[in-house]
Structure 1
Protein backbone atom coordinates (compact mmCIF):
# COMPACT_ATOMS: atom_id res chain seq x y z
CA UNK A 1 0.00 0.00 0.00
CA UNK A 2 1.35 3.43 -0.96
CA UNK A 3 0.49 6.85 0.38
CA UNK A 4 0.52 9.96 -1.80
CA UNK A 5 1.83 13.07 -0.06
CA UNK A 6 0.21 16.46 -0.54
CA UNK A 7 3.28 17.56 -2.52
CA UNK A 8 3.02 14.56 -4.80
CA UNK A 9 -0.70 15.21 -5.24
CA UNK A 10 -0.06 18.82 -6.20
CA UNK A 11 2.61 17.80 -8.70
CA UNK A 12 0.26 15.21 -10.13
CA UNK A 13 -2.52 17.77 -10.54
CA UNK A 14 -0.10 20.20 -12.19
CA UNK A 15 1.04 17.47 -14.53
CA UNK A 16 -2.55 16.65 -15.42
CA UNK A 17 -3.24 20.29 -16.27
CA UNK A 18 -0.10 20.45 -18.41
CA UNK A 19 -1.14 17.34 -20.32
CA UNK A 20 -4.66 18.74 -20.72
CA UNK A 21 -3.29 21.99 -22.12
CA UNK A 22 -1.08 20.16 -24.58
CA UNK A 23 -4.11 18.22 -25.81
CA UNK A 24 -6.15 21.37 -26.40
CA UNK A 25 -8.28 21.12 -23.25
CA UNK A 26 -9.47 24.15 -21.30
CA UNK A 27 -10.32 24.17 -17.62
CA UNK A 28 -13.56 25.74 -16.47
CA UNK A 29 -12.94 28.63 -14.05
CA UNK A 30 -16.09 28.16 -11.94
CA UNK A 31 -17.24 25.20 -9.83
CA UNK A 32 -19.73 22.51 -10.68
CA UNK A 33 -23.22 23.47 -9.49
CA UNK A 34 -23.79 21.10 -6.58
CA UNK A 35 -25.53 21.41 -3.23
CA UNK A 36 -22.23 22.75 -1.88
CA UNK A 37 -22.34 25.54 -4.45
CA UNK A 38 -25.76 26.74 -3.33
CA UNK A 39 -24.97 26.45 0.38
CA UNK A 40 -21.80 28.51 0.07
CA UNK A 41 -23.53 31.00 -2.24
CA UNK A 42 -26.27 31.67 0.33
CA UNK A 43 -23.68 31.90 3.10
CA UNK A 44 -21.67 34.41 1.04
CA UNK A 45 -24.74 36.55 0.44
CA UNK A 46 -25.46 36.52 4.17
CA UNK A 47 -21.89 37.62 4.88
CA UNK A 48 -22.23 40.26 2.19
CA UNK A 49 -25.16 41.79 4.06
CA UNK A 50 -23.76 41.58 7.59
CA UNK A 51 -20.17 42.45 6.65
CA UNK A 52 -21.31 45.54 4.74
CA UNK A 53 -23.28 46.66 7.79
CA UNK A 54 -20.37 45.86 10.11
CA UNK A 55 -17.80 47.75 8.03
CA UNK A 56 -20.10 50.73 7.70
CA UNK A 57 -20.61 50.80 11.48
CA UNK A 58 -17.06 50.10 12.70
CA UNK A 59 -14.61 51.27 10.01
CA UNK A 60 -15.41 54.95 10.38
CA UNK A 61 -14.95 55.50 6.63
CA UNK A 62 -18.58 56.02 5.71
CA UNK A 63 -20.28 54.21 2.85
CA UNK A 64 -18.10 55.80 0.11
CA UNK A 65 -14.85 54.99 1.93
CA UNK A 66 -15.87 51.43 2.71
CA UNK A 67 -17.03 50.98 -0.88
CA UNK A 68 -13.67 52.11 -2.26
CA UNK A 69 -11.76 49.86 0.15
CA UNK A 70 -13.79 46.75 -0.62
CA UNK A 71 -13.73 47.47 -4.36
CA UNK A 72 -9.92 47.67 -4.24
CA UNK A 73 -9.72 44.35 -2.37
CA UNK A 74 -12.11 42.78 -4.89
CA UNK A 75 -9.99 44.04 -7.79
CA UNK A 76 -6.88 42.41 -6.31
CA UNK A 77 -8.63 39.07 -5.77
CA UNK A 78 -10.13 39.14 -9.28
CA UNK A 79 -6.66 39.70 -10.75
CA UNK A 80 -5.53 36.55 -8.93
CA UNK A 81 -8.66 34.70 -10.08
CA UNK A 82 -8.08 35.63 -13.73
CA UNK A 83 -4.43 34.60 -13.52
CA UNK A 84 -5.23 31.09 -12.28
CA UNK A 85 -5.31 28.43 -14.95
CA UNK A 86 -8.32 26.61 -13.50
CA UNK A 87 -10.92 26.79 -10.76
CA UNK A 88 -9.44 27.20 -7.27
CA UNK A 89 -12.03 26.98 -4.51
CA UNK A 90 -10.28 29.39 -2.14
CA UNK A 91 -9.72 32.15 -4.69
CA UNK A 92 -13.10 31.75 -6.36
CA UNK A 93 -15.19 31.87 -3.19
CA UNK A 94 -13.15 34.73 -1.75
CA UNK A 95 -14.03 36.68 -4.90
CA UNK A 96 -17.72 35.77 -4.48
CA UNK A 97 -17.69 36.86 -0.81
CA UNK A 98 -16.07 40.19 -1.69
CA UNK A 99 -18.31 40.80 -4.68
CA UNK A 100 -21.34 40.18 -2.47
CA UNK A 101 -20.14 42.97 -0.16
CA UNK A 102 -19.41 45.32 -3.07
CA UNK A 103 -22.76 44.61 -4.73
CA UNK A 104 -24.52 45.39 -1.44
CA UNK A 105 -22.56 48.61 -1.02
CA UNK A 106 -23.36 49.77 -4.56
CA UNK A 107 -27.07 49.43 -3.86
CA UNK A 108 -26.76 51.01 -0.39
CA UNK A 109 -24.84 53.99 -1.78
CA UNK A 110 -27.52 54.67 -4.38
CA UNK A 111 -30.30 54.41 -1.79
CA UNK A 112 -28.73 56.03 1.29
CA UNK A 113 -26.30 58.58 -0.17
CA UNK A 114 -27.89 59.53 -3.47
CA UNK A 115 -31.54 59.10 -2.55
CA UNK A 116 -32.32 56.87 -5.54
CA UNK A 117 -35.66 55.08 -4.96
CA UNK A 118 -35.42 51.31 -4.65
CA UNK A 119 -37.85 50.87 -7.55
CA UNK A 120 -35.53 52.92 -9.77
CA UNK A 121 -32.31 51.16 -8.74
CA UNK A 122 -33.99 47.76 -9.11
CA UNK A 123 -35.10 48.65 -12.64
CA UNK A 124 -31.69 50.04 -13.60
CA UNK A 125 -29.81 47.00 -12.26
CA UNK A 126 -32.21 44.67 -14.08
CA UNK A 127 -31.64 46.53 -17.37
CA UNK A 128 -27.85 46.56 -16.93
CA UNK A 129 -27.83 42.84 -16.11
CA UNK A 130 -29.98 42.13 -19.17
CA UNK A 131 -27.53 44.10 -21.33
CA UNK A 132 -24.63 42.08 -19.91
CA UNK A 133 -26.43 38.83 -20.76
CA UNK A 134 -27.30 40.01 -24.29
CA UNK A 135 -23.74 41.13 -25.09
CA UNK A 136 -22.31 37.98 -23.47
CA UNK A 137 -24.54 35.74 -25.58
CA UNK A 138 -24.01 37.66 -28.81
CA UNK A 139 -20.26 37.41 -28.36
CA UNK A 140 -19.92 33.87 -26.96
CA UNK A 141 -23.19 32.21 -28.08
CA UNK A 142 -23.69 30.79 -24.58
CA UNK A 143 -24.45 31.90 -21.04
CA UNK A 144 -23.60 28.54 -19.53
CA UNK A 145 -21.31 28.50 -16.51
CA UNK A 146 -20.03 25.12 -17.67
CA UNK A 147 -17.92 26.84 -20.32
CA UNK A 148 -16.36 29.79 -18.48
CA UNK A 149 -12.97 28.84 -19.85
CA UNK A 150 -11.72 31.97 -21.63
CA UNK A 151 -10.84 35.44 -20.39
CA UNK A 152 -13.76 36.92 -22.30
CA UNK A 153 -16.32 34.54 -20.83
CA UNK A 154 -14.89 34.93 -17.35
CA UNK A 155 -15.12 38.72 -17.65
CA UNK A 156 -18.79 38.51 -18.59
CA UNK A 157 -19.37 35.98 -15.80
CA UNK A 158 -17.99 38.19 -13.02
CA UNK A 159 -19.73 41.26 -14.40
CA UNK A 160 -23.01 39.35 -14.34
CA UNK A 161 -22.35 38.11 -10.81
CA UNK A 162 -21.72 41.68 -9.61
CA UNK A 163 -25.01 42.95 -10.98
CA UNK A 164 -26.96 39.92 -9.70
CA UNK A 165 -25.82 40.90 -6.20
CA UNK A 166 -26.69 44.57 -6.73
CA UNK A 167 -30.07 43.64 -8.26
CA UNK A 168 -30.81 41.09 -5.55
CA UNK A 169 -30.03 43.67 -2.86
CA UNK A 170 -32.23 46.38 -4.34
CA UNK A 171 -35.09 44.03 -5.27
CA UNK A 172 -34.98 42.31 -1.89
CA UNK A 173 -35.11 45.63 -0.03
CA UNK A 174 -37.92 46.80 -2.30
CA UNK A 175 -40.03 43.70 -1.66
CA UNK A 176 -39.42 43.85 2.09
CA UNK A 177 -40.25 47.56 2.17
CA UNK A 178 -43.41 47.30 0.07
CA UNK A 179 -44.72 44.16 1.79
CA UNK A 180 -43.49 45.12 5.28
CA UNK A 181 -42.39 41.55 6.00
CA UNK A 182 -40.45 40.39 9.01
CA UNK A 183 -36.98 38.95 8.42
CA UNK A 184 -37.91 35.28 8.70
CA UNK A 185 -41.05 35.70 6.59
CA UNK A 186 -39.00 37.44 3.91
CA UNK A 187 -36.49 34.57 3.99
CA UNK A 188 -39.34 32.07 3.64
CA UNK A 189 -40.80 34.01 0.70
CA UNK A 190 -37.51 34.01 -1.21
CA UNK A 191 -36.86 30.34 -0.35
CA UNK A 192 -40.26 29.46 -1.81
CA UNK A 193 -39.45 31.49 -4.94
CA UNK A 194 -36.22 29.53 -5.40
CA UNK A 195 -38.14 26.27 -4.86
CA UNK A 196 -40.61 27.36 -7.55
CA UNK A 197 -37.74 27.96 -9.99
CA UNK A 198 -36.32 24.51 -9.19
CA UNK A 199 -39.74 22.94 -9.74
CA UNK A 200 -40.14 24.78 -13.04
CA UNK A 201 -36.74 23.50 -14.16
CA UNK A 202 -37.02 19.87 -13.11
CA UNK A 203 -40.73 19.32 -13.80
CA UNK A 204 -41.75 21.89 -16.41
CA UNK A 205 -38.60 22.07 -18.50
CA UNK A 206 -37.47 25.64 -17.74
CA UNK A 207 -34.11 26.20 -19.43
CA UNK A 208 -31.19 25.23 -17.18
CA UNK A 209 -29.20 28.40 -17.84
CA UNK A 210 -32.07 30.74 -17.03
CA UNK A 211 -33.08 28.61 -14.04
CA UNK A 212 -29.56 28.98 -12.67
CA UNK A 213 -29.37 32.76 -13.09
CA UNK A 214 -32.86 33.40 -11.68
CA UNK A 215 -32.06 31.27 -8.64
CA UNK A 216 -28.67 32.98 -8.36
CA UNK A 217 -30.37 36.38 -8.14
CA UNK A 218 -32.94 35.16 -5.60
CA UNK A 219 -30.30 33.73 -3.26
CA UNK A 220 -29.11 37.31 -2.61
CA UNK A 221 -32.27 38.54 -0.82
CA UNK A 222 -32.62 35.11 0.80
CA UNK A 223 -29.16 35.36 2.35
CA UNK A 224 -29.70 39.00 3.31
CA UNK A 225 -32.96 38.14 5.11
CA UNK A 226 -31.24 35.34 7.01
CA UNK A 227 -28.35 37.64 7.93
CA UNK A 228 -30.69 40.39 9.12
CA UNK A 229 -32.79 37.93 11.12
CA UNK A 230 -29.73 36.64 12.97
CA UNK A 231 -27.91 39.95 13.43
CA UNK A 232 -30.64 42.50 14.16
CA UNK A 233 -31.86 43.25 17.72
CA UNK A 234 -34.76 41.25 19.10
CA UNK A 235 -36.80 44.45 19.36
CA UNK A 236 -36.56 44.79 15.57
CA UNK A 237 -37.61 41.21 14.92
CA UNK A 238 -34.13 39.63 14.84
CA UNK A 239 -32.30 37.14 17.04
CA UNK A 240 -29.84 39.74 18.29
CA UNK A 241 -26.54 38.01 17.55
CA UNK A 242 -25.07 41.20 16.08
CA UNK A 243 -23.14 41.68 12.84
CA UNK A 244 -19.79 40.57 14.33
CA UNK A 245 -20.96 37.17 15.58
CA UNK A 246 -23.15 36.53 12.55
CA UNK A 247 -20.36 37.39 10.10
CA UNK A 248 -17.79 35.32 12.02
CA UNK A 249 -20.15 32.34 12.24
CA UNK A 250 -20.93 32.26 8.54
CA UNK A 251 -17.33 32.93 7.53
CA UNK A 252 -16.24 29.93 9.63
CA UNK A 253 -18.76 27.68 7.89
CA UNK A 254 -17.71 29.00 4.46
CA UNK A 255 -14.05 28.39 5.30
CA UNK A 256 -14.76 24.84 6.43
CA UNK A 257 -16.69 24.01 3.25
CA UNK A 258 -14.09 25.62 0.97
CA UNK A 259 -11.27 23.65 2.66
CA UNK A 260 -13.31 20.47 2.24
CA UNK A 261 -13.90 21.16 -1.46
CA UNK A 262 -10.23 22.10 -1.98
CA UNK A 263 -9.20 18.72 -0.59
CA UNK A 264 -11.89 16.52 -2.15
CA UNK A 265 -12.25 18.46 -5.44
CA UNK A 266 -15.91 17.39 -5.56
CA UNK A 267 -16.90 20.54 -7.44
CA UNK A 268 -14.17 20.53 -10.11
CA UNK A 269 -15.45 20.09 -13.66
CA UNK A 270 -13.63 18.18 -16.34
CA UNK A 271 -11.64 20.27 -18.84
CA UNK A 272 -13.29 21.09 -22.16
CA UNK A 273 -11.70 20.45 -25.55
CA UNK A 274 -11.05 23.63 -27.54
CA UNK A 275 -12.84 24.08 -30.85
CA UNK A 276 -9.57 23.75 -32.75
CA UNK A 277 -8.98 20.27 -31.32
CA UNK A 278 -12.58 19.14 -31.10
CA UNK A 279 -13.70 16.19 -33.12
Structure 2
Protein backbone atom coordinates (compact mmCIF):
# COMPACT_ATOMS: atom_id res chain seq x y z
CA UNK A 1 0.00 0.00 0.00
CA UNK A 2 2.88 2.39 0.77
CA UNK A 3 4.46 1.66 -2.61
CA UNK A 4 1.14 2.38 -4.29
CA UNK A 5 0.81 5.67 -2.45
CA UNK A 6 4.24 6.80 -3.61
CA UNK A 7 3.46 6.09 -7.27
CA UNK A 8 0.16 7.97 -7.37
CA UNK A 9 -0.33 11.75 -7.42
CA UNK A 10 -1.35 13.26 -4.09
CA UNK A 11 -4.87 14.07 -5.22
CA UNK A 12 -5.46 10.70 -6.80
CA UNK A 13 -7.91 8.23 -5.32
CA UNK A 14 -7.60 4.48 -5.72
CA UNK A 15 -11.36 4.28 -6.14
CA UNK A 16 -13.41 5.14 -9.19
CA UNK A 17 -15.78 8.10 -8.89
CA UNK A 18 -18.15 6.94 -11.64
CA UNK A 19 -20.33 3.84 -12.07
CA UNK A 20 -19.63 0.83 -14.23
CA UNK A 21 -21.19 1.20 -17.67
CA UNK A 22 -24.05 -1.27 -17.67
CA UNK A 23 -27.62 -1.32 -18.94
CA UNK A 24 -28.62 0.26 -15.62
CA UNK A 25 -26.34 3.22 -16.38
CA UNK A 26 -28.04 3.94 -19.70
CA UNK A 27 -31.52 3.49 -18.25
CA UNK A 28 -30.74 5.91 -15.43
CA UNK A 29 -29.16 8.34 -17.87
CA UNK A 30 -32.24 8.40 -20.11
CA UNK A 31 -34.57 8.80 -17.13
CA UNK A 32 -32.57 11.68 -15.65
CA UNK A 33 -32.37 13.49 -18.99
CA UNK A 34 -36.11 13.25 -19.43
CA UNK A 35 -36.83 14.30 -15.87
CA UNK A 36 -34.42 17.25 -16.05
CA UNK A 37 -36.02 18.51 -19.26
CA UNK A 38 -39.62 18.56 -18.06
CA UNK A 39 -38.89 19.61 -14.46
CA UNK A 40 -36.84 22.56 -15.70
CA UNK A 41 -39.75 23.67 -17.87
CA UNK A 42 -42.18 23.12 -15.00
CA UNK A 43 -40.06 25.09 -12.53
CA UNK A 44 -39.62 28.20 -14.70
CA UNK A 45 -43.39 28.32 -15.27
CA UNK A 46 -44.28 27.97 -11.59
CA UNK A 47 -41.89 30.58 -10.18
CA UNK A 48 -39.88 33.54 -11.44
CA UNK A 49 -37.49 32.23 -14.15
CA UNK A 50 -34.53 34.09 -12.64
CA UNK A 51 -35.19 32.52 -9.24
CA UNK A 52 -35.65 29.12 -10.91
CA UNK A 53 -32.27 29.35 -12.64
CA UNK A 54 -30.65 30.51 -9.40
CA UNK A 55 -32.15 27.57 -7.51
CA UNK A 56 -30.95 25.21 -10.23
CA UNK A 57 -27.44 26.63 -9.96
CA UNK A 58 -27.39 26.37 -6.15
CA UNK A 59 -28.67 22.80 -6.32
CA UNK A 60 -25.99 21.88 -8.85
CA UNK A 61 -23.19 23.40 -6.76
CA UNK A 62 -24.41 21.64 -3.61
CA UNK A 63 -24.59 18.29 -5.40
CA UNK A 64 -21.11 18.83 -6.88
CA UNK A 65 -19.66 19.59 -3.45
CA UNK A 66 -21.04 16.29 -2.18
CA UNK A 67 -19.65 14.42 -5.19
CA UNK A 68 -16.14 15.83 -4.79
CA UNK A 69 -16.15 15.23 -1.03
CA UNK A 70 -16.65 11.47 -1.30
CA UNK A 71 -13.67 9.30 -2.17
CA UNK A 72 -15.44 6.77 -4.34
CA UNK A 73 -18.59 6.28 -6.40
CA UNK A 74 -21.77 6.58 -4.31
CA UNK A 75 -24.87 5.91 -6.40
CA UNK A 76 -27.29 8.40 -4.85
CA UNK A 77 -24.76 11.24 -4.86
CA UNK A 78 -23.59 10.57 -8.41
CA UNK A 79 -27.12 10.45 -9.83
CA UNK A 80 -28.16 13.49 -7.80
CA UNK A 81 -25.41 15.39 -9.61
CA UNK A 82 -26.60 14.05 -12.96
CA UNK A 83 -30.16 15.16 -12.20
CA UNK A 84 -29.00 18.65 -11.21
CA UNK A 85 -26.78 18.88 -14.28
CA UNK A 86 -29.77 17.86 -16.38
CA UNK A 87 -31.98 20.54 -14.84
CA UNK A 88 -29.38 23.31 -14.97
CA UNK A 89 -28.10 22.29 -18.42
CA UNK A 90 -31.65 22.56 -19.75
CA UNK A 91 -32.03 25.98 -18.16
CA UNK A 92 -28.72 27.16 -19.64
CA UNK A 93 -29.73 26.11 -23.14
CA UNK A 94 -33.17 27.67 -22.73
CA UNK A 95 -31.70 30.95 -21.46
CA UNK A 96 -29.54 31.19 -24.57
CA UNK A 97 -32.64 30.83 -26.76
CA UNK A 98 -35.47 32.45 -24.79
CA UNK A 99 -33.64 35.28 -23.01
CA UNK A 100 -30.90 36.08 -25.50
CA UNK A 101 -33.02 35.27 -28.54
CA UNK A 102 -30.36 33.08 -30.15
CA UNK A 103 -31.81 30.52 -32.61
CA UNK A 104 -31.51 26.83 -31.73
CA UNK A 105 -29.33 26.22 -34.79
CA UNK A 106 -26.81 28.79 -33.57
CA UNK A 107 -26.87 27.56 -29.96
CA UNK A 108 -26.45 23.97 -31.18
CA UNK A 109 -23.35 25.00 -33.13
CA UNK A 110 -22.08 27.02 -30.17
CA UNK A 111 -22.47 24.17 -27.67
CA UNK A 112 -20.95 21.74 -30.20
CA UNK A 113 -17.88 23.96 -30.48
CA UNK A 114 -17.67 24.43 -26.72
CA UNK A 115 -17.88 20.68 -26.15
CA UNK A 116 -15.21 20.04 -28.77
CA UNK A 117 -12.89 22.51 -26.99
CA UNK A 118 -13.55 20.76 -23.68
CA UNK A 119 -12.70 17.36 -25.17
CA UNK A 120 -9.53 18.69 -26.82
CA UNK A 121 -8.37 20.40 -23.63
CA UNK A 122 -9.16 17.36 -21.51
CA UNK A 123 -7.21 15.05 -23.82
CA UNK A 124 -4.29 17.46 -24.19
CA UNK A 125 -3.85 17.68 -20.42
CA UNK A 126 -4.79 14.16 -19.30
CA UNK A 127 -3.99 12.16 -22.48
CA UNK A 128 -7.22 10.18 -22.16
CA UNK A 129 -10.98 10.66 -22.37
CA UNK A 130 -11.79 7.28 -20.90
CA UNK A 131 -14.53 7.10 -18.29
CA UNK A 132 -12.52 4.28 -16.72
CA UNK A 133 -9.78 6.77 -15.80
CA UNK A 134 -11.81 9.02 -13.47
CA UNK A 135 -9.53 8.60 -10.44
CA UNK A 136 -8.20 12.14 -9.95
CA UNK A 137 -9.69 15.49 -9.08
CA UNK A 138 -8.57 16.95 -12.41
CA UNK A 139 -10.15 14.19 -14.46
CA UNK A 140 -13.34 14.30 -12.43
CA UNK A 141 -13.57 18.06 -13.00
CA UNK A 142 -13.14 17.56 -16.75
CA UNK A 143 -15.71 14.77 -16.64
CA UNK A 144 -18.42 16.91 -15.04
CA UNK A 145 -17.69 19.92 -17.25
CA UNK A 146 -18.06 17.59 -20.22
CA UNK A 147 -21.31 16.16 -18.85
CA UNK A 148 -22.72 19.67 -18.42
CA UNK A 149 -21.73 20.47 -22.00
CA UNK A 150 -23.43 17.35 -23.34
CA UNK A 151 -26.67 18.25 -21.58
CA UNK A 152 -26.68 21.80 -22.95
CA UNK A 153 -25.88 20.55 -26.46
CA UNK A 154 -28.47 17.79 -26.28
CA UNK A 155 -31.17 20.21 -25.15
CA UNK A 156 -30.42 22.70 -27.93
CA UNK A 157 -30.19 20.05 -30.66
CA UNK A 158 -33.38 18.32 -29.53
CA UNK A 159 -35.29 21.60 -29.54
CA UNK A 160 -33.79 22.47 -32.92
CA UNK A 161 -35.05 19.31 -34.61
CA UNK A 162 -38.42 19.40 -32.86
CA UNK A 163 -39.25 23.08 -33.46
CA UNK A 164 -36.91 24.70 -35.98
CA UNK A 165 -36.90 21.70 -38.32
CA UNK A 166 -40.55 20.92 -37.46
CA UNK A 167 -39.97 17.22 -36.83
CA UNK A 168 -41.96 17.26 -33.61
CA UNK A 169 -40.91 15.73 -30.30
CA UNK A 170 -41.70 12.10 -31.06
CA UNK A 171 -39.95 12.09 -34.45
CA UNK A 172 -36.96 13.87 -32.91
CA UNK A 173 -36.76 11.18 -30.25
CA UNK A 174 -36.76 8.46 -32.92
CA UNK A 175 -34.10 10.31 -34.95
CA UNK A 176 -31.71 10.66 -32.03
CA UNK A 177 -32.39 7.09 -30.88
CA UNK A 178 -31.23 5.87 -34.30
CA UNK A 179 -28.15 8.10 -34.13
CA UNK A 180 -27.42 6.75 -30.66
CA UNK A 181 -27.69 3.16 -31.87
CA UNK A 182 -25.18 3.52 -34.73
CA UNK A 183 -21.92 3.79 -32.68
CA UNK A 184 -23.33 1.43 -30.06
CA UNK A 185 -23.92 -1.26 -32.67
CA UNK A 186 -20.51 -0.57 -34.23
CA UNK A 187 -18.76 -1.06 -30.90
CA UNK A 188 -20.85 -4.15 -30.12
CA UNK A 189 -19.96 -5.68 -33.48
CA UNK A 190 -16.29 -4.72 -33.85
CA UNK A 191 -15.19 -3.83 -30.28
CA UNK A 192 -13.47 -0.68 -31.55
CA UNK A 193 -13.65 3.04 -30.77
CA UNK A 194 -14.94 2.46 -27.25
CA UNK A 195 -14.27 6.00 -26.01
CA UNK A 196 -15.82 7.67 -29.08
CA UNK A 197 -18.82 5.34 -28.97
CA UNK A 198 -19.40 6.04 -25.30
CA UNK A 199 -19.29 9.83 -25.54
CA UNK A 200 -21.33 9.94 -28.75
CA UNK A 201 -24.00 7.77 -27.15
CA UNK A 202 -23.82 9.87 -23.98
CA UNK A 203 -24.49 13.04 -25.97
CA UNK A 204 -27.35 11.42 -27.87
CA UNK A 205 -29.13 10.20 -24.74
CA UNK A 206 -29.88 13.80 -23.86
CA UNK A 207 -32.07 14.64 -26.90
CA UNK A 208 -33.57 11.14 -26.81
CA UNK A 209 -34.72 11.44 -23.21
CA UNK A 210 -35.69 15.11 -23.56
CA UNK A 211 -37.63 14.60 -26.79
CA UNK A 212 -39.72 11.73 -25.47
CA UNK A 213 -40.39 13.47 -22.13
CA UNK A 214 -41.47 16.60 -24.01
CA UNK A 215 -43.69 14.45 -26.20
CA UNK A 216 -45.36 13.06 -23.08
CA UNK A 217 -45.75 16.41 -21.33
CA UNK A 218 -46.45 18.99 -24.05
CA UNK A 219 -50.03 19.91 -25.01
CA UNK A 220 -51.72 18.48 -28.10
CA UNK A 221 -51.28 21.80 -29.89
CA UNK A 222 -47.50 21.27 -29.75
CA UNK A 223 -47.65 17.64 -30.80
CA UNK A 224 -47.52 16.15 -27.32
CA UNK A 225 -49.72 13.80 -25.32
CA UNK A 226 -50.57 16.51 -22.77
CA UNK A 227 -49.83 14.56 -19.59
CA UNK A 228 -48.37 17.74 -18.12
CA UNK A 229 -44.86 18.67 -17.03
CA UNK A 230 -45.64 18.28 -13.33
CA UNK A 231 -47.07 14.79 -13.69
CA UNK A 232 -44.29 13.58 -15.99
CA UNK A 233 -41.63 15.07 -13.70
CA UNK A 234 -43.11 13.36 -10.66
CA UNK A 235 -43.46 10.00 -12.41
CA UNK A 236 -39.88 10.04 -13.70
CA UNK A 237 -38.57 11.16 -10.31
CA UNK A 238 -40.26 8.23 -8.56
CA UNK A 239 -38.80 5.76 -11.08
CA UNK A 240 -35.34 7.30 -10.70
CA UNK A 241 -35.54 7.04 -6.89
CA UNK A 242 -36.48 3.36 -7.08
CA UNK A 243 -33.65 2.64 -9.52
CA UNK A 244 -31.03 4.55 -7.51
CA UNK A 245 -32.09 2.82 -4.28
CA UNK A 246 -31.65 -0.48 -6.11
CA UNK A 247 -28.18 0.53 -7.32
CA UNK A 248 -27.17 1.86 -3.90
CA UNK A 249 -28.33 -1.32 -2.19
CA UNK A 250 -27.02 -3.93 -4.61
CA UNK A 251 -23.86 -2.04 -5.68
CA UNK A 252 -24.30 -3.81 -8.98
CA UNK A 253 -22.74 -0.90 -10.87
CA UNK A 254 -19.67 -0.49 -8.64
CA UNK A 255 -16.36 -1.04 -10.36
CA UNK A 256 -13.69 -3.27 -8.97
CA UNK A 257 -11.76 -1.39 -6.33
CA UNK A 258 -8.52 -3.02 -7.30
CA UNK A 259 -6.23 -0.60 -9.12
CA UNK A 260 -2.73 -1.04 -10.39
CA UNK A 261 -0.08 1.59 -9.57
CA UNK A 262 -0.11 2.80 -13.17
CA UNK A 263 -3.48 3.97 -14.44
CA UNK A 264 -3.86 3.69 -18.18
CA UNK A 265 -6.43 5.21 -20.49
Aligned to 1:40: 28
Aligned to 1:55: 43
Greater Cα shift, 37-46 or 190-199: 190-199
Aligned to 1:179: 165
Deviations 1:110-140 (A, max 9, x none): 1000011222211111111111111111111
Aligned to 1:9: none
How far apart in 2 are the matches of 1:255 and 1:206?
34
CA contact (8 A) 1:28 1:272 kept: no
Structure 2: gaps of 5 or more residues: none
Which has more radius of gyration? 1
SS at match of 2:91: helix
How far apart in 1 are the matches of 2:222 and 2:43?
20
Using the size of structure 1 for normalisation, the TM-score is 0.87
Aligned to 2:226: 240
* Matched residues, number: 257
CA, structure 1 residues 175+272, in 2 after alignment: closer, same or farther (shift >3 Å)? Answer: farther
- Does 2:111 match 1:125? yes
**Which of residues 230, 237, 248 is equivalent to 2:216?**
230
Cα offset, 1:275, TM superposition: 3.5
How far apart in 1 are the matches of 2:114 and 2:64?
21
Q: Give the superposed CA RMSD.
A: 2.1
How far apart in 2 are the matches of 1:276 and 1:110?
42
Deviations 1:134-163 (A, max 9, x none): 111111111111110110000000000000
CA, structure 1 residues 122+235, in 2 after alignment: closer, same or farther (shift >3 Å)? Answer: closer
Cα offset, 1:178, TM superposition: 3.8
- Does 2:176 match 1:164? no
Deviations 1:15-35 (A, max 9, x none): xxxxx9899771110001111
Deviations 1:38-82 (A, max 9, x none): 0010010101110111101112x22x3311211111101101100
Moved over 4 A (4+): 20-25
Structure 1: gaps of 5 or more residues: 1-19
Cα offset, 1:266, TM superposition: 0.5
CA contact (8 A) 2:184 2:197 kept: yes
CA, structure 1 residues 123+260, in 2 after alignment: closer, same or farther (shift >3 Å)? Answer: same
Aligned to 1:72: 58
Aligned to 1:146: 132
Using the size of structure 2 for normalisation, the TM-score is 0.91
How far apart in 2 are the matches of 1:224 and 1:151?
30
**Which of residues 95, 98, 102 is equivalent to 2:81?**
95
